[in-house]
Amino acid sequence: MSKKVKVILNKHLGKRKRKPVSIIVRIKNFFRGFLFLVKLVVFLLLIYVVAFSFYKFCYVSDFFTVKEIEIVGVSEKLKNQINKVIDKNSLLKENLLKVDIKKIKGYLKSIPKLDEIQAHKIYPNKIEIDAKELTPIAVIVGESLYTIDDRGLVIDLFDKSQKVNMPFITGINDNTIEFGKKLELSSLDNIIGLIKCLQLKNKEFLKEISEFHIQKNNSVSMILVGGVEVKLGEDGFIDKIALLLSDELKEKLAKEKNLKYVDLRFTDQIYYKAL
């Protein structure tokens, strides 16, 4: 094969002779790679330092330490109870970032008189607790005096130093009374329904009621402030009280002196007896 043919073939086949890489170029390439690795390590170290500093600022410094817990929506007496729960669980001086709002709500559920509990973080160092205070509707008489709300939930001990402005309820088994639990008794539900109705329509008569007594057969008697007993039976209390307050019956009873009881248990007949 002639030299001319070989040149043409090499040209078409793309063969090129490579120049040998010099030692200087190899050294330069090595240092470029090494410098890149150094820059990468420095960059990663910088990220670590920044992240660690941020972590230390957030979780170690006192910038996010809880310094104030504001309680709204409840009385001073209940605020004191809440503060005792806060102190017991060391919420003050806790890091706000670590505070678990669900746990706070769980702690406060140990106070039966609280309802609709809300807790919020207010950065950088404050917690706000907002709750509704349940209103007592009657006093249960047992080994102690207990207050219940309009659902029959046992919410607190009755403060004997306070003025009594609600009726007492007797005849309930002490073994069924538990703070934060509803008293499951149909006769009690009927009493509560009557009290709620009178709160809306006749507060003056409600003030005249001293006591409701639940008998073993679930029948209920109502004792008025003057000592007169009103036998209500087991149900239909609202209609029976409406009858008791009717002008016609009030006129009849007004003629009786030293009335002992009024019996409203029967739909077709009213009985009453004087002393």
pLDDT tens figures, 127-145: 999 999 999 999 999 999 9
pLDDT in tens, 66-98: 999 999 999 998 999 999 998 888 888 888 888
Confidence class of residue 2 from pLDDT cuts 50, 70 and 90? low
Locate tokens 């106070």: which residue? Answer: 111
**Mean pLDDT, residues 28-37 taken together:** 80
> Rounded to whole angstroms, how far apart are CA atoms 4 and 201?
123
Q: Return the pLDDT at 271.
A: 86
What the block records as the tokens of 104 is 């706070």
Model pTM score: 0.75
pLDDT in tens, 154-188: 999 998 887 888 999 999 999 999 999 999 999 99
- Ordered by start, the domain boundaries in the chain are 3-59, 68-133, 138-274
The CATH code of domain 68-133 reads 3.10.20.310
Q: Return the pLDDT at 5.
A: 52
Angle at 119 between CA 115 and CA 122, to 5 degrees: 155
Flag whether pLDDT at 193 surpasses 80.
yes
pLDDT in tens, 48-61: 888 777 777 777 77
> Rounded to whole angstroms, how far apart are CA atoms 154 and 146?
7
Flag whether pLDDT at 25 surpasses 80.
no
What the block records as the tokens of 117 is 């509990």
Locate tokens 């002008």: which residue? Answer: 247
Q: Return the pLDDT at 214.
A: 96
Flag whether pLDDT at 43 surpasses 80.
yes
- The third-level CATH classification (topology) of the domain covering 138-274 is Rossmann fold (3.40.50)
- Percent of the chain clearing pLDDT 70 (strictly above): 92
Flag whether pLDDT at 10 surpasses 60.
no
Backbone angles phi, psi at 118, to 5 degrees: -130, 140
